[in-house]
Structure 1
Amino acid sequence: MKLFTKIIFTLFILTASLNALYAQTIVKGTVTDAKTKEALPYVTVTFGDSNQGAPTDGNGRFTIKTNDKFDYIKVNYVGYRTITRNIEAGKEQTINIAINADTRQLSDVVVKAGKKKKYTNKNNPAVELIRQVIAHKAQNQVTNYNYAEYKQYERMTFSLSNLSDKFKSKKIFKNYQFMFREQDSTAIGGKTLLPLYMEEKLSANYYRKVPYAQKQVVEANKQVKYDETFVDNQGLTTYFNRMYQDINIYDNNVSLLSNQLLSPISDNSPNYYKFFITDTIKDQQPNLIELSFTPRNTINKLFEGRIYITMDGNYAVQNAVLTVNKNIDLNFVRQMEARLSFEKNPDNRYHLSQSNLKIEFALNKNKGGGVFGERLVTIRNFQINTPRPKETYDGPAQVYAKKYDEQTDAYWTESRPDTLDKAAADLYKNVDSLQTIPSFKRTMDIATLVLAGYKNFGPFEMGPVNTFYSFNPVEGFRARLGGRTTTALSKRYYFETYGAYGTRDQKFKYFLSSTYSLNNKSIYSFPQNYIRASFQHDTKVPGQELEFVQESNFLLSFKRGANDQWLYNDIFKLDYVHEYLNHFSYAVGFKKWNQSPAGALQFQNLLPNGALNNVNLIHTTEMSLQLRFAPHEKFYQGKLYRTPIPDKYPIYTLRYTQGFKGLVGGDYNYQNVVGNVSKRFYASQLGFSDVSIEGGYLFGKVPFPLLDIHRANQSYAFQFQSFNLMNFQEFVSDHYATFTIDHNFNGFLFNKIPLLRRLKLREVVNFKGLWGAVRAENNPANDRSLLRFPTNSLGQATTYTLNNGMYAEGSIGIGNIFKVLRFDLVRRFTYLDNPNAPKLGLRTFVKFDF
């Protein structure tokens, strides 16, 4: 026993001596990208080829320790070159390391053989591997957990990019030199950038599987803000976030720039992608296989790049590098790169830990300046299957904490997972300084006049300029001048007015409105909550309902066919509008409407003795209620209209109108109910469809001007919600249903035709159907006291019912002409015997698509 004790004591002494000989080695430092200088999170740093080490944190920092003797450390990160650095054993030392991206492309993979082997999915190990990834998708998604929660940091930046020294030295930028930023010339965006926008957001996110709930609590938000006179800051944020959405590689389709690109691990990706095993990474656990992929057709909306698959039985994606081919049919995109990193959970599965999406836009894909945007998302403190109280998951999908936009600089410095470089950190104050420079104010003032049509004079702005001059058969040449107040006058009170005069009818027209905001916000910002009173004395075309344009717009002066049946209107309206953060809204309205015929339009009925009687005025008094629900709706608020940003979510609208006889001179009792549902459906590589269904029913006996006058379009612009080959006031109904579908193939067919492929044209089809009728009680053929349907100068009827079946029209079109134009050849299929009914027409539409 004594001998055993001595042996143990001797071994202890020897061990202590060895430990003293080889003291603990401690290495600290930061790992950054050699080009961008950005800190890299979750980089593996180990001693030599051992498994002793640790990943960097969210700020790229690491600390590793060992009692063993090593003379170097190894730095390994997927998508970057593995490097080593010498160290001194037994000492504490700090080593900052910059690593370079692995820029290998698929073109570097060369297979030599006597005869080139045709790529095939059959017996292809790369395809077999991707099928395993697809088979394990469900278990590797966050939605596989009953509960999940995490903290998320987002940073979005936009800059003018690829600027030359000549551009930077121009006299106009003499006072803006403090705004420019330099970076590595090989990085996306080029050497010189001019940062213009940045937004940061910190949030807590909660997910529950059953019942399904996903909620984001925004704890802090900081944004570069421009003068609201020129820019809708809230809408700008919404637009940028729609362009740079979260990338979930496990979804079958990935949303990018309002398009959907097929994921390389979608269920049917082997039919659209070619896969190659290009590397096996064995110096980390678990081992990874680098799987490279490229589109079978490089012009289709598909990714190319690399994904790294874990070989631990999960077949999970640990990292991904996604780019697009230069030939891809994405407008204005010069370069795009998305890097995704995943981190292991306690159950050995993986969750997204960071994504970095960079895109440079430009008119010319090969040279010249552009716009560079980047969205960085970092996820921390990921927890699984830890249920929270029910109220945590209740309510809207996104809520904001109190004083979320009032956090101090010290709070942001402490809360960011990384450190902003000086140029980024100074951007907030730089933009504030920029807006005090007179030359910048003049530039924004000119841009607002050109793009929005308003000239700002501080508390008042004049416009829109495209309505100052127009012409039509009733008024002749029409001159109009108007404007409205701005938030510089008041955030609660808004006034708007215009005056107009027609040289042919020699009548003055005018409009006055006063609005009071109940939430001390601009009435043009979301969510709206206001009361408005207005009076309008002006002309109108019956059955013309315009989208995102005013009736006095100069371009609408040009119309096909006869356009001489008009109305003079006197309309007093009192409206209350209330929107909620969940995009539910309601509007209550009172309307006193007097309408009289103008031009060739006549209101006539037959007296009991059979004599023809001219009716000069129709009086109506209405109350209305509109309910609208647009979940997850996104839009940009312009000077005049909200421009919607289409998405997959439906929009529901229900409107009820009650007419009162005897109230403030109203002549008729009636009720009108109209419901509408619209939605965009995505079909992956086959494009997308915009679908709208509407129905209405009018109860009561009314003259034809109060029937549903179906939306017609006699302009040469293609209108989605109107019938493009229907004449104004051609059809009326007291109950109806409409169906509209507009499908954009996104070049799916044209891309397969060599002569058309280079033009990057996109094929579209459209169909509109209308069913309706007029009940006997509202048909003047059955009741001579009702106003007769209008006729033209030859006595031919110009207004009809739809009792002979559906009105239908369709079109085939070519979009993306010069990246902005769409032309449709429209064909009318029914009611071709109506006088002046067009059978064919060419319509155009201007739209900026990516």
Structure 2
Amino acid sequence: MKVFAPYFNKVLFTVLVLLSSFTVFAQTKVSGVVTDAKTKQPMPYVTVTFAGTTIGAGTNAEGRYTILTTQDVKQIQVSFVGFRTAVRNITPNQEQTINVALSEDNRNLSEVFVKSAKKKKYSNKNNPAVELIRKVIAHKAQNQVENYDYAQYKQYERMNVSLSNLSEKFKNKKIFKNYQFLFREQADSTAMGGKILLPVYQEEKMSDNYYRKAPYAKKQVITASKQVKYDENFVDNNGLKSYFDRMYQDINIYDNNVSLLSNQLLSPISDSAPTFYKFFITDTLKDVTPNLIELSFTPRNTTNMLFEGRIYITMDGNYAVQNAFLTVNRNINLNFVRKMQANLSFEKNPDGRFHLSQSDLKIEFAINKEKGGGMYGERLVNISNFVLNQPLEKKTYEGPSQVVALNAEEKNDAYWQEARPDTLDAASASIYKNIDSLQTIPSFKKTMDIATLVLAGYKNFGKFELGPANTFYSFNPVEGFRLRVGGRTTPELSKRYYFETYGAYGFRDEKFKYFLSSTYSLNNKSIYSFPQNYIRASFQHDTKIPGQELQFVQESNFLLSFKRGVNDIWLYNDIFRLDYVKEYSNHFSYSLGFKKWDQTPAGALLYQNLLPNGDLNNVNRLKTTELSAQLRWAPHERFYQGKLYRVPIPDKYPIFTLNYTQGIAGFFGGQYNYQNVVGNISKRFYFSQLGYTDVTTEGGYLFGKVPFPLLDIHHANQTYAFQLQSYNLMNFQEFVSDHYASIFVDHNFNGFFFNKVPLLKKLKLREIIDVKALWGGIRSENNPANDPSLLRFPTNIGEGGVGTYTLGSTPYVEGSVGVGNIFKLLRVDLVKRFTYLDNPGAPEWGIRFFVKFDF
């Protein structure tokens, strides 16, 4: 049999080639460009079909189209609302190019009547436009893909991001002398993005997509992927990709709320659309099949989170959307958005209903909405080979919602030229090569080096980077003036081994502090890339404030040096850790840890208990040894990976975390046996025009008898920065518990009320309310009042007389009202503490600040 194998393979290969050749010759392929006969400009989103069939496609942003079929066809039909439908003869079973110029159809406006010069007050009552939109709303369920039992299709995506609206003066600056090959000029200077663009990013994806109604499953298999990639020492490419994907995400007009940037805009066909929108019938088209009605819409309040534009409704009884053009009013309370437009095209299914065939989302961002440079991005999605109600093998729908094929990034240029549904223009095709060439220019590397130092705080030296810069200098009551210098290795040294270290010195306590860690990557990827899989060993000898919890900020950050009230409760810590972290592509992760922790009180903090003879005893050191495990699941999580930490991109999906810690006495010097279980759930809830709410709930229970430093020390904040996950008017180490439950609620109205106040709506401020509540307590076995051998709760610490307490039947509650979007990035909260005001040093009121870059 082995003798005949080569011969058999050759025969099989020859047969396959002949079959594929036959398929090619039996196929009709038509390409071309559709233009406006009057302006000669290309027309995007025009529907081109083979006459008498449902096989077709929409033109792209440059007016180009490509359609193909194996059926016996003789004509193509080109149609667009407001233009006369064109029919062209074609030659069957051949590849050909047919360009079409469409003429305006003025007959569509013949039914417009002018009854009075007086403007009639808009009303939903007896309004045919409102009656029509109500019929569209009533038929939404049947017109969505989710109404089918099964669906499968191929999807092509392309995203481009450029610096936009640049001037000739900017382009010709000396700094860009070596970068002229990067600039791109558009023929139409009035087009979105302006005449001169500077491309900075491009990404393409091909995928197979599968949907099953019951049990519900939606899966995307990315078969090919191509992306502009920068030097990993400066830019996290996966993080950049996630950030742009979040900014330019899918638009489903059939959803009640459409996600746009970090907000949700009410869809013009949402259930409550007639309450917030005005609708007008502006055109009827009777020479297309099916007949269409053009329905224009505009917000009742132009500053609200709403679209404006027009949709085209089929008059065949389905009341489906065939085309949609969405944009936003220039007065909308949406930060940095100069222009936005989305074009959606739908194709007819064999059963007469429609599915999305193409979407094109364009957004231009700028600090100044009127003039000056900005950033322009476009995401084009093309859907083809749409197949309905043909179930596949069960395993097709199983597993993660998104899977990347192993060879997805290995496709060559020939593959992409064949796979793209349109032709990539020369300027776009050269972006990949241009960015690669850019990174070989020494001046660009120097510029990125400076940018990394300014934005991320690190100075890159190739295999090692120095930083972060904002920790070089700080001060506190224990250490006084503190100097720190540190750094870490980069993937240029090794993709397997990573080292990080710093050294610090306090001029008041005259003590050195230091940190050293060594990490080994188990998947031969950077430990800062998703998904992580590594082992890390570290040792730290440094100071810490009990109960201070920081998010995305280094503890030695200079800005944290400024604190309110008494701030002399500190610890000296010696911590050895050994951690294993494993993440999966479905965003489930677990970690296992070993921790040996020696803590010594510092500053005004004392650890004291009573000896059997009644004498007061100072305890200088507590020793614990812990084993820990954490489970975390964050479905569909997206984040931007910075140089030190991840910044999650908020979304509607919840995040679940479960932590278990086991303290072991007698193991590596540990003094206590205990178990601690903590569960946390966080989620963002969207409420359409009323904004969104971020909710975090947490509960914990500690089993065993331990001194108060090992209890749950609730997260306090004595800085002037508003912290979402800490109690902003609680003093450090003020409350401890061995069992507790908490809830954090932060609601942003997105300017819903301010937008209705004439003097405020121009400022585009946003109103915010925040409530935090904590229930807890300690069991009698952990109360030092019942056992003198336990460490006593500190009282009257420092000049302010603050101390440590336990919660009673009354929860700790604080709340705030805030004004956000001040200068588009500042939030100011007036915070009030409602309970436990009798505790020494407890503030009742406070002003806190929060800097947040938001859209």
Task: Mark yes or no: TM-score above 0.5.
Answer: yes
Please provide the CA RMSD for this pair. 2.7
Assess if the C-alpha contact under 8 Å between 1:731 and 1:799 holds in 2: yes
Aligned with residue 137 of structure 1, among 135, 140, 149: 140
Match of 1:8 in 2: none
Whole-Å separation in 2 of the counterparts to 1:477 and 1:357: 52
**Cα distance change, pair 287–453 in 1 and its aligned pair in 2 (3 A):** same
8 Å CA contact retained: 2:733, 2:803: yes
Task: Compute the displacement of 1:442 (Å).
Answer: 0.9
Deviation at 1:31, TM superposition (A): 2.4
Deviates further, 110-119 or 537-546: 110-119
Q: Which residue number in structure 2 is paired with residue 810 of structure 1?
A: 815
SS of residue matched to 2:202: strand
The superposition leaves residues 517-540 of structure 1 with CA deviations (integer Å, 9 ceiling, x where unpaired) of 000000010000000000000000
Letter in 1 for 2:133: I
Quick check: 1:153 aligned with 2:156?
yes
Deviation at 1:790, TM superposition (A): 1.3
User: Are residues 1:826 and 2:831 paired?
Assistant: yes
**In the alignment, is residue 846 of structure 1 matched against residue 851 of structure 2?**
yes
Say yes or no: does 1:543 pair with 2:558. Answer: no
Q: 1:698 to 1:36 in 2, by over 3 A?
A: farther
Report the Cα distance in structure 1 between the residues aligned to 2:209 and 2:305, rounded to whole angstroms: 31
Q: Any idea what SS the aligned residue of 2:242 has?
A: helix
Residue in 1 aligned with 2:436?
432
Q: Which moved more, 1:216-225 or 1:115-124?
A: 115-124
Provide the rounded CA distance (Å) in 1 between the counterparts of 2:661 and 2:68: 70
| Residue 232 of structure 1: aligned partner | 236
Name the SS of the counterpart of 2:842 in structure 1.
Answer: coil
What SS does the corresponding residue of 1:60 show, helix, strand or coil?
strand
| 1:61 positional shift | 3.9
Task: Write the distance in 1 (CA, Å) between the matches of 2:404 and 2:105.
Answer: 40
Which secondary structure does the structure 1 equivalent of 2:238 belong to?
helix
CA shift digits 1:663-695 (9 cap, x unpaired): 011000011000000000000100000001100
Distance 1:483 1:88, change over 3 A: closer
Q: Structure 1 residues 614 and 186 mapped into 2: Cα distance closer, same or farther (>3 Å)?
A: same
Mean Cα displacement is larger for which, 816-825 or 80-89? Answer: 80-89
Aligned pairs (5 A) from 1:211-250: 211-250=215-254
Q: CA deviation at 1:795?
A: 10
Q: Cα deviation per residue 1:245-280 (whole Å; 9 max; x = unaligned)?
A: 111100000001121000000011000000000000
Which of 457, 462, 466 is residue 462 of structure 1 equivalent to?
466
The aligned residue for residue 13 of structure 1 is none
SS of corresponding position for 2:526: coil
Equivalent pair of 1:332/1:362 in contact (CA under 8 Å): yes
1:591 and 2:591 correspond: no
1:115 CA displacement: 3.3
SS in 2 for 1:414: helix
Question: Is the 2:151–2:390 Cα contact (8 Å) retained in structure 1?
Answer: yes
Aligned match for 2:680, one of 665, 676, 683: 676
Equivalent-residue separation in structure 1 for 2:40 and 2:530 (angstroms): 37
Instruction: Mark the CA change 1:687 to 1:143 in structure 2 (over 3 Å): closer, same or farther.
Output: same
Residue 173 of structure 2 is aligned to residue 167 of structure 1: no
**Equivalent in the alignment of 2:582:** 578
Alpha-carbon distance in structure 2 between the residues aligned to 1:63 and 1:730: 72
Correspondence 1:192 to 2:192? no
> Greater Rg, structure 1 or structure 2?
1
Helix, strand or coil at the partner of 1:484: strand
Matches within 5 A, 1:26-175: 30-32=32-34, 40=44, 43-44=47-48, 55=56, 60-61=65-66, 75-78=78-81, 81-82=83-84, 95-97=98-100, 113-175=116-178
| Preserved CA contact (<8 Å) 1:30 1:39 | no
Letter in 2 for 1:168: K
The answer as to 2:564 corresponding to 1:560 is yes
Is residue 2:727 matched to residue 1:727? no
- 1:465/1:33 Cα in 2 relative to 1: closer, same or farther (>3 Å)? farther
Separation (CA, whole Å) in 1 of partners of 2:222 and 2:233 = 26
Give the 3 Å change call, closer, same or farther, for CA 434–33 of structure 1 in structure 2: farther
User: What is the DSSP-based 3-state SS (H/G/I as helix, E as strand, rest coil) of the residue aligned with 1:770?
Assistant: strand
1:805 and 1:798 mapped to 2: Cα distance?
A: 18
Shift of 1:180: 0.9
Q: How does 1:473-484 map to 2 (within 5 A)?
A: 473-484=477-488
Q: Tell me how far apart the structure 1 counterparts of residues 301 and 801 of structure 2 sit (CA, whole Å).
A: 56
Aligned residue-pair number: 813
Distance 1:688 1:101, change over 3 A: farther
Q: CA deviation at 1:30?
A: 1.2
Equivalent runs, 1:659-674 vs 2, <5 Å: 659-674=663-678
Give SS of 2:563's match. Answer: coil
Against the structure 1 CA distance between its residues 155 and 793, is the aligned structure 2 distance closer, same or farther, given a 3 Å change threshold? closer
Residue 617 of structure 1 is aligned with which of 613, 618, 621?
621
Amino acid in the other structure paired with 1:119? Y
SS at match of 2:179: helix
For 2:333 and 2:35, the matched residues in 1 are separated by: 30
- Within the alignment, does 1:745 sit opposite 2:744 as a pair? no
Give yes or no for contact 1:694–1:739 (8 Å, CA) kept in 2. Answer: yes
Alignment of 1:250-261 (within 5 A): 250-261=254-265
* Counterpart secondary structure, 1:162: strand
Q: Supply the AA of the counterpart residue of 1:294.
A: T
Aligned twin of 2:23:
none
> In 2, distance between residues paired with 1:429 and 1:331?
33
For the 8 Å contact 2:248–2:361, the answer to whether it is kept is yes
Paired AA for residue 158 in structure 2? R
How far apart, CA to CA, are the structure 2 residues paired with 1:751 and 1:590? 53
**Residue 43 (structure 1) shift:** 2.3
Q: 2:530 is matched with which residue?
A: 526
> Is the 2:66–2:422 Cα contact (8 Å) retained in structure 1?
no
Aligned partner of residue 391 in structure 1, secondary structure: helix
C-alpha change, 1:292 and 1:602, in structure 2 (3 Å) is same
Q: What is the rounded CA distance, in whole Å, between the counterparts of 1:88 and 1:258 in structure 2?
A: 47
1:830 match: secondary structure: coil
Structure 2: how far apart are the matches of 1:54 and 1:407?
28
CA distance in 2, matches of 1:94, 1:702: 81
**1:400 matched to which residue of 2?**
404
1:809 to partner: Cα distance: 0.1
Matched-pair contact (CA < 8 Å) for 1:40–1:60: no
Identity %: 73
Cα separation, 2, equivalents of 1:325 and 1:205 = 34
Q: Kindly state the Cα deviation for residue 39 of structure 1 after the two structures are TM-superposed.
A: 7.9
CA distance in 2, matches of 1:314, 1:799: 67
SS of 1:519's partner is coil
Letter of the 1:316 counterpart? A
1:186 to partner: Cα distance: 1.6
Shift of 1:745: 0.4
In 2, Cα distance between equivalents of 1:163 and 1:795: 57
For 2:460 and 2:105, the matched residues in 1 are separated by: 51
Query: In structure 1, which of residues 351, 362, 366 is the aligned counterpart of residue 366 of structure 2?
Result: 362
- Are 1:31 and 1:99, in contact at CA under 8 Å, matched by a contact in 2? no
Report the counterpart of residue 758 of structure 1 in structure 2. 762
3-state DSSP class of the match of 1:405? Answer: helix
Q: Output one character per residue of 1:581-606: Cα deviation in whole Å (capped at 9) or x when no partner.
A: 11111110000000001111111111
State the TM-score, normalizing by the size of structure 1.
0.92
Distance 1:146 1:617, change over 3 A: same
Gap runs ≥5 in structure 2 = 1-27
User: What is the one-letter code of the residue matched to 2:218?
Assistant: Q
> Would you say the 8 A contact 2:801–2:841 is kept in 1?
no
Does the C-alpha gap of structure 1 residues 618 and 377 become closer, same or farther in structure 2, counting only changes over 3 Å?
same
In structure 2, the residue matched to 1:717 is 721
Structure 2 counterpart SS, 1:772: strand
How much has 1:32 moved relative to structure 2? 3.9
| Structure 2 Cα separation of the partners of residues 328 and 252 of structure 1 | 19
Q: 1:463 to 1:667 in 2, by over 3 A?
A: same
SS in 2 for 1:508: strand
Query: 2:528 & 2:68 partners in 1: Cα distance?
Result: 52
Residue identity in the other structure for 1:116: K
CA contact (8 A) 1:33 1:101 kept: no
User: What is the distance in 2 between the residues matched to 1:295 and 1:430?
Assistant: 42
2 CA distance for matches of 1:783 and 1:93?
Answer: 92
Structure 1 CA distance for aligned equivalents of residues 760 and 824 of structure 2: 14
Cα distance in structure 2, aligned partners of 1:672 and 1:86: 75
**Distance in structure 2 (CA, Å) of the matches to 1:540 and 1:797:** 18
